[in-house]
Amino acid sequence: MARRVGIVGIGIMGTAMMRNLVKDGFEVVGYDIAEVAMARLIESGGIAAASPRDVAEKTEILITALPNVDAFEQVMTGQGGVASSNGMGQIVIECSTLPIEVKARGEAQLAAQGKILLDCPVSGTGAQAASKDLVVFASGNEAAFERCHQVLAGISRAQKYVGAFGNGSRMKFIANHLVTIHNLAAAEAIVLGEMAGLDPALVFDVIGDSAGSSRMFQIRGPMMVRGQYDEPTATMTTHLKDLDIIGKFAADLHCPTPLFATATQFYHAGVAQGRGGHDTGAVCAVLEQLAGITPRG
């Protein structure tokens, strides 16, 4: 496999992936519509491309990490998109959280042009991405997945092949369903400790080493203790996009999700309070306000 890889979408996740690939010895060709993102690419040792099509023409394997459906459709089939690129056999590792039907449509459109789209969402926060502590839920063409092994290992600690195209997204929805609840539970525990007169730092230290801990408590607990959420690893606004997708996914299956449904309201409240650009750990501040506690930080 050539040690050159492409990346389109250099936001929180894409930046972490790009930097880890560069550290791992890959030559990274990247593109993002934002000038500041392109500056990060160049500063990190990457090579700037002119468009998603340009990335696809310069690499055999490329990663996409995109914020929404419109961005996905533009990157895949819009003017200057991957589908319009010359060459055959390029593999797109699609890491975004999007509706399955949207990705399936993109897969068919790329297949018509001789290209392969893999559905590969990742589990983990931006901070976890920076330390390569992501888990990839890969689905689609298994032979293509095997060809991408070194690239996937360059951005993650574990790569799980979960079968037919779309299963990666299904696993991601389940994972983020749990993240949503566990994150709120961590915040609730911190606030409960505060109201009981306990130092939040002490609560984090003790509970983090107990049977009641969780990955979200361990990862977001420190920012809840500090009360500082303005360096997001995943923003409240972005998470609401995911919650809408997961809610529809569960509703289409007629699956009851009472804890998830309740938890979503606190993320909506956070955005309503002007915390849309804050990390999702800011649900702790939402609960503090509801409890009549002045949020820390």
Residues 169, 172, 177, 183, Cα dihedral to 10°: -150
pLDDT of residue 1: 43
Letter string b/e over residues 206-236, b meaning 16 or more CB atoms within 10 A of that residue's CB: ebeeeeebbbbbebbbbbbbebbbeebbbbb
SS3 142: helix
φ, ψ of residue 53 in degrees (nearest 5): -60, -45
pTM: 0.95
Q: Which residues contact 39 (CB under 8 A, 6 or more apart)?
A: none
Q: Which is nearest to 77 in space by CA: 44, 103, 46, 39?
A: 103
Q: Which is nearest to 243 in space by CA: 190, 172, 137, 187?
A: 172
Q: Which is nearest to 260 in space by CA: 247, 269, 270?
A: 247
pLDDT of residue 297: 67
pLDDT along the chain (297 residues), means of 10: 86 97 97 97 98 98 97 98 97 98 98 98 94 97 97 98 98 98 98 97 97 96 96 94 97 98 98 96 97 87
Contact between residue 243 and residue 264 where contact means Cβ atoms under 8 Å apart: yes
Letter string b/e over residues 173-201, b meaning 16 or more CB atoms within 10 A of that residue's CB: bebbbebbbbbbbbbbbbbebbeeeeebe
Rg (CA), the chain: 20
Angle subtended at Cα 97 by Cα 39 and Cα 162, rounded to the nearest 5 degrees:
120
In angstroms, rounded to a whole number, what is the distance separating the alpha carbons of residues 11 and 56? 19
Both structure tokens of 159: 């790569």
In angstroms, rounded to a whole number, what is the distance separating the alpha carbons of residues 106 and 76? 7
